[in-house]
């Protein structure tokens, strides 16, 4: 069987909650996640580079595209994980990472995902999980740009780097 004939049905989620290295490392640990690709989305500049996104002028956020098997893990479960591994109440910031590229953002792929995101946020707000309101941006996915190759599996390749040891 070739990869093209892989019978595993997959769906995708596109999520941003600060540094994409952190999100990638966390989501790779989830059973049912088939792949995680760091990248950029939610902005206006075509084919952005890491340097351009970090400068905060492209409108893009650092995000991950999570390919998952919905028979093992649901989109709603992934949202639950997402909202607990970052702070969705801080605009344009996650810890020491500051700027619009680090904003909390969910880029939904279809109407079902949109409804699931809104329901998840409403549930967390009703349960008063955080002391401040959720400021996560919820928008339709436009174009996803994969990050440069050296960002893929960054934590796996650099576990002893200072940022990885302290933050991830």
Decide if 20 contacts 38 (C-beta within 8 A): yes
pLDDT band with cut points at 50, 70 and 90 for residue 3: very low
φ, ψ at 62 (rounded to 5°): -70, 125
Distance between CA atoms of residues 20 and 166, nearest Å: 15
Q: Which residues contact 21 (CB under 8 A, 6 or more apart)?
A: 38, 151, 154, 155, 163, 164, 168
* Model confidence pLDDT, tens digit, residues 79-100: 999 999 899 999 998 878 889 9
Convert the pLDDT of each residue in 124-151 to its tens digit.
999 998 999 999 999 999 999 998 776 6
User: Active site includes 19?
Assistant: yes
Quote the pLDDT of residue 2.
41
Q: Which of 19, 22, 54, 164 is catalytic?
A: 19
């Amino acid at each position: 069987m070739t990869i093209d004939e892989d019978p595993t049905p997959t769906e995708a989620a596109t999520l941003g909650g600060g540094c994409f290295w952190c999100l990638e490392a966390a989501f790779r640990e989830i059973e049912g996640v088939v792949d995680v690709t760091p990248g950029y989305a939610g902005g206006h500049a075509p084919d952005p580079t890491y340097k351009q996104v970090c400068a905060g002028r492209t409108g893009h956020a650092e995000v991950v595209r999570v390919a998952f098997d919905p028979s093992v893990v649901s989109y709603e479960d992934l949202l639950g994980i997402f909202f607990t591994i970052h702070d969705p109440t801080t605009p344009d910031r996650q810890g020491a990472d500051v700027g619009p590229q680090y904003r909390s953002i969910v880029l939904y792929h279809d109407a079902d995902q949109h409804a699931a995101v809104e329901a998840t946020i409403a549930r967390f707000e009703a349960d008063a999980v955080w002391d401040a309101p959720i400021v996560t941006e919820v928008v339709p996915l436009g174009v996803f740009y994969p990050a440069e190759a050296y960002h893929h599996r960054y934590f796996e390749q650099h576990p002893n780097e200072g940022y990885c040891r302290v933050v991830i």
